[in-house]
Structure 1
Amino acid sequence: MKLIAVIGGHLNRPYANTFNGGESTMNKGDLVNEVAKLVSTKKQAQEVVDCVFSTIVDALQKSDAVQIAGFGSFKTAKREARTGRNPQTGAEIKIDARNVPKFVPAKALKDAVN
């Protein structure tokens, strides 16, 4: 529960426009650096970030939804089998059914980015 509060607490915090030495995309290392500002060490921050991601993946593998208040929901959706086309040859190919992850942002997240 404490981790969810930490994540939710950052929605109102203004981030710099650049991460990772000037790039405008935040990557996992940048996220670890932000979490490290709230915990004792960077190693702990790495463990926290890895734990959050692995917990979300584990839940999705079991077809469970993950809802984080003020952030959004992760869930899986079934993509039906379909027929596709090889763009090089034009030949039809069968694409198997599969489960795909979906993310639905919460209203607070949508409002924060607008």
Structure 2
Amino acid sequence: MGNYISMTSCTFISPTINNSKAARVIFPGGEIRQFREPAKAAEPMLERPGFFLVNSRSLIIGRRFSPLAADEDLEFCHLYVMFPMRRVNSVVTTADVAVIFMTAKSPAKRISGVGNGELRRIPASL
């Protein structure tokens, strides 16, 4: 009962990302990319073969991952996370959720915006 972490706020990573009219994807390695125009789940998955996409709102500790189908739309104001395919049938752990919080708390070091045909990369400063 106490294992559910609600991530319904659109300002989940507000210090890092200031545009609420975007879908956000956390890529492996911690890069956060914004999709400001309608996009399918297939777009980020094509960039990272061997990974699947999950809506952060579906992450419930102790339950199985609910991967998105490639033809599903990425919804604005939602946060998505990529996990390796070997985890597709496994259960969500606290470490999986911790990745989201660690990324949210880290400084705005890797943010890319996709919209109006533009792609902007900000180099990481580790």
TM-score, structure 1 normalization: 0.29
* Larger Rg computed on CA atoms: 1
More helix by share: 1
